Amino acid sequence: MSAIDRLTDDFPHGTPDGYDRGCRGRICPSTPSCLAARVRFQGDYAYRREVLAARAEAAKPKPRRGMPPRRIFTAEHVAALRDLNEQGWSDNRIAKHLGFSNSNVSRRRDEMGLPANFTGRPRKNSHTPDREGREQAHEGESHV
Ligand SMILES: [Zn+2]
């Protein structure tokens, strides 16, 4: 523990933790000092409980940093989803365009009763030769 560490903003001055982490002298930016907090921690049961509760709180998992805030899917998003789906956009592409997850867009598209598009843009011929062959045979039969 260097003196520099004790000058950082997140050093717990004024608490027994500050004392434990090396701030044991009279030069402490906090009033009461870490040393005073340590002495109080040893002798003041209510203060001790308070400190322990604060420690437990600090140990709780926090929301992950860097996670984007939850976005709201507005009526405009719904309209855009409908438009883009009609233009043949895939859920993936719509999701990227609107800034929502693929699963979010897929679920909403399902709820809207719209069909899934599996390619970025509609193909001129979406049938495989095999499937088309069978369909043509079928059409041929039905027209006889
Ligand atoms: Zn201190």
Span 90-122, pLDDT tens digits: 999 999 999 999 999 999 999 999 999 986 455
Give distance in angstroms: CA of 50 to centre of ligand 1.
18
Q: Output the domain CATH number for residue 118.
A: 1.10.10
The whole-model pTM stands at 0.40
C-alpha distances in Å from residue 54, one per residue of 17, 21, 46, 47, 139: 11, 16, 12, 11, 75
35-75 pLDDT, tens digit each: 999 999 999 999 999 999 998 888 887 776 766 666 788 88
Q: Do 137 and 79 sit in the same domain of this protein?
A: yes
The environment of the single-atom ion ligand 1, i.e. residues with CB closer than 5 A, is 13, 18, 23, 28, 34
Calpha distance 132→129 (Å, rounded): 5
CA distances in angstroms from 132 to 11, 12, 36, 118, 144, listed in the order given: 71, 72, 85, 18, 18
Residues 47 and 80 in one domain: no
Question: Whole-angstrom Cα distance, residue 124 to residue 40?
Answer: 79
